[in-house]
Structure 1
């Protein structure tokens, strides 16, 4: 996304806008989100928002990225299995703690707007895939594990299972699921 020409963003106003998105999504979900509601809650003009973001989904994306950076740090445990389980557990907790509304909103919007889908993939999906891929790569480089299949497939399996549960809602995204998914990935490891 190209930077727009004009005044630089005010950190205070930017923070207020992203905080407003957080609050509105928690209170009303995606259906209650509008530029007017965000501007009112953040006490900024609508023009300020339009100047800084090409769409409401881009604001949600930035707020979601800020949230993910705080709530899903990459752990550095001794074993791959424990590192992986903690990563999944923190991901599930983040989703259960309000991240679900962000992800559903972003995924729905990405299906309606092809240009936004490309930004969503580049700024969110690929970054989350890179984090998980780095965990897998570190484990293989340190000699802890060797996978029977290429790691890109494992990343798809893990995030595919998470997205499916998130979007369909047929089963919980919880600690038990993090444990099950860890066991599935460990099953893709070759015997030592």
Structure 2
């Protein structure tokens, strides 16, 4: 009969193996995304690379698109501390996307994730949930604060403002298929503050 210690050890193996397997699948997914894109994406190739079964993949993700978005989101770092300067604070909220795009084949992974979000319902919901939680809601609070301090004017559409800041980034990744230069998001934040400066 196993001792309590042995029971605890064995019970920890399951989650640890699951986490390791999931990490391997996400890593293999990013490799497949970078090499073959969204249209040529192969679940079989991911399963082979990760030494996992397709059954496990379909058990953990509602769709292949959702798996691609999940793999991409794992590549995006948390927002850094923006300090007190308005430009730095706005930059801090969007610069993780720049950082992800500048990490290895990150621009290719982002491109596939955006394509998946556009094509697949589950992927789209996952991407929008992340955007709302990590960018839109924090940005809404920050811009409301800056408007209250008369740094920027009050009358503007939040979604349009975010699109103006991120639109050039999406264009560079999706259309130009080009890496993102360092300081890109800082320049977008500076442009936003100039356009929406309180009179």
TM-score after normalising by structure 2: 0.73
Residues 133 and 151, structure 1, Cα contact 8 Å, conserved in 2: no
Check 1:101–1:156 CA distance in 2 against 1; reply closer, same or farther (3 A cut). same
Report the equivalent of 1:159: 166
Aligned counterpart in structure 2 of residue 73 of structure 1, from 79, 83, 87: 79
Report the equivalent of 2:176: 169
Residues 162 and 173, structure 1, Cα contact 8 Å, conserved in 2: yes
Matched, 1:33 2:34: no
TM-score after normalising by structure 1: 0.75
Matched, 1:84 2:80: no
Could you give the per-residue CA deviations for residues 21-45 of structure 1, whole angstroms, max 9, x where no partner exists? 2333344444553211111111111
Matched, 1:60 2:33: no
Could you give the per-residue CA deviations for residues 98-126 of structure 1, whole angstroms, max 9, x where no partner exists? 3322222122233333x236414533332
Q: Gaps spanning 5+ residues in structure 2: where? A: 1-13
Question: Which protein has the larger Cα radius of gyration, Structure 1 or Structure 2?
Answer: 2
Could you give the per-residue CA deviations for residues 97-155 of structure 1, whole angstroms, max 9, x where no partner exists? 23322222122233333x236414533332332343344344445x2723253250311
Query: 1:72, CA displacement in angstroms?
Result: 4.1
Query: 1:96, CA displacement in angstroms?
Result: 2.4
Residues 24 and 38, structure 1, Cα contact 8 Å, conserved in 2: yes
Aligned counterpart in structure 1 of residue 51 of structure 2, from 11, 36, 43: 43
Measured on the aligned residues, the alpha-carbon RMSD in Å equals 3.0
